Structure 1
């Protein structure tokens, strides 16, 4: 079992408005993020994602930033962060994001028609964030070469099911009786 899977099995669970939420350094920044865990995740993403045609990494703020920054450093692919703050720059695109526990506006800057992008995120749970991001990138005319989320929480609503959006994950988990259960994981991350 890899470090990612082990760390998820040890993650505390909190309930937020009826939603069983695991607290993990990748998705929440607490407890502390071990560099070895981040390195393992980055290596697994690089092995799993189709990077040869990507000219830009795109990630929604905030918890995708550390993962995407590390992937950018290892691959020399530039990084664009989708922010929750409006800047008013030329070409800025506003998107509505709705998850199982929040609603926000997000803003995409510096993604243009014909950009070939890798979309990276920390967790795929309801699919609300990634659905909004992928739809907006399609509206811009960017080509989404690949999409990777580190962790997928299965069960419940997933707005990406039944769409053309394919999201690769490193590990699939569920929360059962207040504990994280590994549903699907791969030893080599491929």
Structure 2
């Protein structure tokens, strides 16, 4: 059994404001992220994502950073981190990130019109963050070549009614306090 699947099956479940979610090294940094798990995930992303014409990897802070950094190191594609802090730099674009449990302003710097980007994140759940990011990238005039998430929580999400097909490595659900693997190969 691969490490990603095994680590999800062993993940503890917590409830926050009626929302059940798993605690996992990729999505939470807890428990400790083993290099072998990160390496397995990065290799799978590199194999699955369309990287041929990508100029930049774009990831929202914070939990997409470690995955995207590792992919950047392996592919030599520069990395842009979308931050929750406004810097006021030329070309900075604000977006409103809304998830199942929070709402924040985020800011994109260093993505320009015509850039071809891979949007990469840890988990696709409600799709609120990814939808806001894709809209901001479209506003900038960047081309979103591909959209990837390591883990997808099954169910409807805000990208379902868009032209973006999110590639995932594994699809899961939380049922009766346990992670259930719905598709161990993900989408795409």
Shorter-chain TM-score: what band? Answer: over 0.9
Cα deviation, residue 17, structure 1: 0.4
What residue is the counterpart of 1:17 in the other structure?
Answer: 17
Deviation at 1:166, TM superposition (A): 1.3
Distance 1:159 1:116 in 2: 22
Deviation of 1:164 after TM superposition, in Å, equals 1.0
Matches within 5 A, 1:163-174: 163-174=162-173
SS, match of residue 11 in structure 2: coil
Q: Secondary structure at the match of 1:43?
A: helix
Cα contact 2:171–2:185 (8 A) shared by 1: no
* Structural RMSD (CA): 1.3
Query: Secondary structure at 1:113's aligned position in 2?
Result: coil
The TM-score with structure 2 as length reference comes to: 0.98
Give, in whole Å, the separation in 1 of the partners of 2:19 and 2:185: 26
1:185 match: 184
Residue 162 of structure 1: CA displacement?
1.6
Aligned residues: 188
**Displacement after TM superposition at 1:2 (Å):** 1.0
SS in 2 for 1:62: coil
Partner of 1:34: 34
Q: In the alignment, what sits opposite 2:145?
A: 145
Q: What is aligned with 1:109?
A: 109
- The TM-score, its normalising length taken from structure 1, stands at 0.97
Partners in 2 of 1:12 and 1:174 — Cα distance?
Answer: 13
Q: Which residue of 1 aligns with 2:69?
A: 69
Aligned to 1:134: 134
Q: Shift in Å at residue 185 of structure 1?
A: 1.3
Pairwise CA distance, 1:186: 2.1
For residue 82 of structure 1, report the CA deviation from its aligned partner. 0.2
Large movers: runs of 4+ above 2 Å: none
Q: Deviations over 1:35-78 (max 9, x none)?
A: 00000000000000011100100000000000000000000000
1:101-129, Cα deviation, whole Å (9 max, x unpaired) = 00000000000000000010000000000
* Structure 1: segments with no counterpart, 5+ residues: none
